[in-house]
Structure 1
Amino acid sequence: MAASSYFSIIALIFLTINLNLCSAATTGPIHRPNGRNTRFIRTSCRTTLFPNLCFTTFSKYSTRIRGNPRFLATTGLSLALNTTRSATKTLATLSKRHGLNRKDAAALRDCVQQLGNAVDELKDSISEMSSTRRGNNKDFRFRMSNIQTWVSAALTNEDTCMDGFSSAGKHKINERGFKIIVRGRVRRVGRLTSIVLAFVNRYVAATTH
């Protein structure tokens, strides 16, 4: 494939990424935040590994979250799921493009599979969260433990995706093009999932002590 055609594909995918990121971040109406709700988001984000990304992402939903650790965790799970789905679709499309060497193509397919597993684990987490109710402390702890396990597994799958891709061969066009896209998408998904895991852990700590 000619370099000009390849870069045209890359430009198209970058446009798709921007559109997907916009749709992934909109899981419902975003309301104007107030000071107390925004402070809760900022304080919560300080306990994560990526406080700036966290605040930029979740401050839009501060009125919906309303200073509630449970709402913070559930909103985070939904955002992580949407973002991971978006990344999976983008990388699946990219894996079907011509011009990839065999090692890169295989690594990219493995990455898509790992992200697909992460999607399933996040879906299970959301379903379990909707079933958790405080009152039966033993059942609550069991369900929250499941959620912690699944979100941790999703994060591991995302890390594995990046590790496998990093070991693929390096080629000048591929390295500047689709590898940048893959790393950017997977890095964002991994960081968001890490933030959500921190929120889930905080919710568990707040309700079981």
Structure 2
Amino acid sequence: MASLSSSHFVASFLIAFFISCDIFSSTSAARDLAQKTNSEFLKTSCSATIYRKLCLTSLSSHANAIQTSPKLMASEALTVTLASAKSTSIMMLKLSQSHGMKPREVGAMRDCVEELSDSVDAIQRSIAEMGNFSNSDFQLMISDVQTWVSAALTDETTCSDGFGGNLMNGNLKTVVRGRIVNIAQLTSNSLALVNRYASVHG
């Protein structure tokens, strides 16, 4: 009797084990499929941008959060851009207070800090607007966001232009323009993704 009970227990255990394995396998397969789908959506979305490689590298770690949502794609792009703009703004502010710069360099740095501040503000407003709209006022919302992101891009371009020419310190110009160009490219990509969201929503 004990042997029969033991055999029944083993059989039940094996059945439960194989069912668990099957469930785990199915869950794992579903997760892999979702990740592949999210990755493909990211690639497709980034193909609408000018700086595709930057789009992929800056947003690849956000693919699972974005899933296949054009709205989340645009929002995450703006969030990444905002973080970069903020960190660069802080860097620029510190640099503008350093010693040994020419008057023209100091002036360009201060102008750039102000322009980056405006850029950060415009991107923050865009993110807030993206999160607080209803379908009834979608066109008004998306128009505002497009205007603000475009304004941010203009500010960044103006900042970069201020470091043109040969009167600027070579190393300083390289560092600053490199950071500003990166933000401008992120902003350009964000605008393209906002435009893509507008087109698929409409």
- TM-score (ref. length: structure 2): 0.81
Match of 1:199 among 179, 189, 193: 193
- Residue in 2 that maps onto 1:154: 152
- Residue in 1 that maps onto 2:139: 141
Give the gaps of 5 or more residues in structure 2: 1-31
Higher helix share: 2
Q: CA deviation at 1:168?
A: 6.8
Q: Does residue 96 of structure 1 match 2:93? A: no
- Residue in 2 that maps onto 1:180: 174
Moved over 2 A (4+): none
Q: CA deviation at 1:167?
A: 4.3
Instruction: Provide the C-alpha distance between the structure 2 equivalents of 1:191 and 1:169, rounded to a whole number of angstroms.
Output: 25
Give the gaps of 5 or more residues in structure 1: 1-31
Instruction: Provide the C-alpha distance between the structure 2 equivalents of 1:159 and 1:82, rounded to a whole number of angstroms.
Output: 18
Instruction: Provide the C-alpha distance between the structure 1 equivalents of 2:154 and 2:174, rounded to a whole number of angstroms.
Output: 21
Instruction: Provide the C-alpha distance between the structure 2 equivalents of 1:167 and 1:96, rounded to a whole number of angstroms.
Output: 22
Aligned residue type for 1:193: T
SS in 2 for 1:165: coil
CA-atom RMSD in angstroms: 1.4
- Whichever of the two has the greater Rg, that structure is 2
SS in 1 for 2:98: coil
- TM-score (ref. length: structure 1): 0.78
The count of aligned residue pairs is 170
The answer to whether the Cα contact below 8 Å between 1:125 and 1:151 also exists between their aligned partners in 2 is yes
Instruction: Provide the C-alpha distance between the structure 1 equivalents of 2:157 and 2:106, rounded to a whole number of angstroms.
Output: 18
- Percent of residue pairs bearing the same amino acid type: 38
Residues 168/119 of structure 1: CA separation in 2 closer, same or farther (3 Å cut): farther
